[in-house]
Amino acid sequence: MDQPELYYSSDNVFAEILVTGNGITQPWPSPVWILDLVYSGEVEFNSVALVSAGFWRLSHNHSFARSIRAGKGGHGEFLSIGLHENTYADRIFPEAEVTGAITTAMTYSIIKIVSSLKHDREKFGKNIWINCYVQLLINQLDISILSKRNYSCGEYKSVFYSISSLTKISDAFPSPRELARQTGMSQSRFQKICLELYGQSAQKIIQHLKMRQACSAILKDRKTISKTSSELGYRHSPNFITAFRNHFCITPMEAVQYTAK
């Protein structure tokens, strides 16, 4: 069997991701409230509570460790967050266990936390990101929301990582159709999920990143407008200039002249 992947954040937040058929023992330094979010498969906690994909459970763990196993099918992906006493003093936790459905907004927070945990970042910066999204995730809990997400967490993750990969591009950007093809989705489905996660289309995100890259190339790297236009995939410089002006309300040349003052 594959071994579980374990990730830890700060002293106040402990997060784990498990994709395995094996059981594990999850240690905690003290009895804590634990928020479990299962986003794929099923996960069994302490041989009693079975949580299915698309749902979260907030419960109090009285011991210093608990056993966790994947549910039926031997597969489960989850995020566990320990909420220590007074860590989130503005949140009043109930005395009994509560559960709810994972919404699209919560899915985005979960993916951001998992992404931050997996990235090779310097510890201080990593914990800042994790704690910010944990706080957001806690505020997104709402037991009155019973409707499930429109798409699977796997699809949300595919779109998230596809869009995130765009930030590493320094030349011609792919089209939304090409991005969708990379995920194995239809362009229509990719666009709908993108709108749910980001509140804007893939084309608008690409355009924003293109213009950010253009601004850096022209103002920081001092590249010519013609070269920048070509590197970003524009066949004609006038089209690039128009796009730049529509985005920043000034032309590339005006931007250069303004920063030279």
Interval 47-85: pLDDT, tens: 777 788 888 888 887 777 888 888 777 778 888 888 765
For tokens 């037991």, what's the residue? 143
In single-letter form, the type of residue at position 61 comes to: N
Assigned domain for 6 exists: no
Show which of 140, 163, 188 is a domain's final residue: 140
Is the pLDDT reported for residue 229 higher than 60?
A: yes
Residue 241 binned pLDDT confidence (cut-offs 50, 70, 90): very high
Buried b (16+ CB within 10 A) or exposed e, 3-31: ebeebebbebbbbbbbebeeebebebeee
Given this model, what pLDDT does residue 17 score? 63
My answer on whether 208 and 103 are in the same domain is no
Residue 28 belongs to a domain with what CATH number? 2.60.120.280
Residue 251 binned pLDDT confidence (cut-offs 50, 70, 90): very high
Number of domains in the chain: 2
The SS3 of residue 86 is coil
What is the domain range of residue 228? 150-261
3-state secondary structure 209-231: HHHHHHHHHHHHCCCCHHHHHHH
Instruction: Report the percent of the chain where pLDDT is more than 70.
Output: 79
Assigned domain for 16 exists: no
Residue 246 binned pLDDT confidence (cut-offs 50, 70, 90): very high
Assigned domain for 18 exists: no
Assigned domain for 208 exists: yes
My answer on whether 132 and 168 are in the same domain is no
My answer on whether 96 and 195 are in the same domain is no
Assigned domain for 1 exists: no
| pLDDT tens-place string over residues 15-39 | 666 655 567 787 777 677 788 888 8
The SS3 of residue 133 is helix
Lowest mean pLDDT among 18-27, 178-187, 210-219: 18-27
My answer on whether 82 and 187 are in the same domain is no
